[in-house]
Amino acid sequence: MAGHFDLTDLQLIVHIGDWHSLTRAAEKTHLSLPAASTRIKNLEEHFGTQLLYRTSQGVTLTPAGEALTRHARTVMRQVEQLRGDMQEFARGVKGHVRVLANTTAMTEFMPAVLGRFLAAHPDVNVELRERLSYLIVRAVAEGSADLGIVAGHTTDQNLQFIPYRKDRLVLVTAAGHPLARESAVAFADTLSNDYVGLSEWSAIHPFLVQAAAALGRTFKFRVEVGNFEAVCRMIETGVGIGVIPESVAARYARALQVAIVPLVDDWALRKLQICVRDLDALPAFARELVDMLVADIPADQRESGADGAA
């Protein structure tokens, strides 16, 4: 067998699992492509098995490669925990927290907490990405994210869930729209209208498409924009209607001529939860971020909400 392998080898295989590209993985690991190829070859010789399938479209992990990647993620998490716990003694070592969140948490709840957290930890970086809840659970379970904020009745025996907040999705229309006169409305009864919404990169976009598909209906996006303010301004002009978090809608309704109509669908009321693999195993700075998120919960939201998924 070939010689020993090191943390760089493990980080390389993790990046390959994330990007399915040896070139991209080499860049993320700060290696040249030939050096990365050599390291993979040495790993394959060391373990006596093929780790990658190589095609013209890129690379994918073999079953052995997937197993190695799972172990590599565990080792890298332990190294990150070591760095976090030793930061006060080893100045200059950067910590890194990978956070995945749904649309509401990303736009409404995370910015203020992250601002305080980063100010208190200048040597820690946070990687924050938006995902659908079921993808967040999978990423935390696989170790590609340190913590996530998910919506709905989400369970996984291998994860820990911490109650976070509750929020509601509501319909927003122009002030003069016929639906604006309704005291409440079913999502199914809105689908004959054109919709204004966030583009496909947002978690709420595919969630609404899936909700319409579950009803056997088509979701008609007339305009897709980049943020909730643009959604509300388009709705105000009569371009279409939209479904957005109530906390967002209430803020823009104070300045724009739009109406907020409750949705009667069960999924409109969502319970948000923080999920982690093992809270005690997180690096100290990541545990502090969780503590800050929990401390930020308003007193009237510390009890359970209902279900959802975006």
Q: Are 64 and 49 in contact (CB under 8 A)?
A: yes
> Can you tell me which residue has the tokens 């943020």?
227
Q: What is the pLDDT of residue 305?
A: 39
The more confident residue out of 137 and 201 is 137
- Is pLDDT of 259 > 90? yes
Dist CA 171 CA 188 (whole Å): 12
Q: Would you say the CATH fold of 94-302 matches that of 7-87?
A: no
Query: Of 65-74, 85-94, 252-261, which gets the smallest average pLDDT?
Result: 85-94
Q: What mean pLDDT is predicted for residues 160-175?
A: 93
CATH number at 7-87: 1.10.10.10
Q: Are 211 and 132 in contact (CB under 8 A)?
A: no
Give the pair of three-digit tokens for residue 117: 């957290």
Number of Cβ within a 10 Å radius of residue 111: 11
For domain 94-302, the CATH architecture is 3-Layer(aba) Sandwich (3.40)
Q: What is the pLDDT of residue 187?
A: 97
Q: What is the pLDDT of residue 307?
A: 44
Query: Of 85-89, 222-226, 282-286, which gets the smallest average pLDDT?
Result: 85-89
> Can you tell me which residue has the tokens 């760089």?
8
Q: Are 55 and 62 in contact (CB under 8 A)?
A: no
Chain mean pLDDT for the chain: 88
Q: What is the pLDDT of residue 3?
A: 57
The residue ranges of every structural domain in the chain are: 7-87, 94-302
Nearest partner of 18 among 3, 5, 28, 31, judged by Cα: 28
Q: Which stretches within 121-238 are classed as H helix?
A: 133-142, 204-214, 228-236
Q: What mean pLDDT is predicted for residues 64-93?
A: 77
Number of Cβ within a 10 Å radius of residue 54: 12
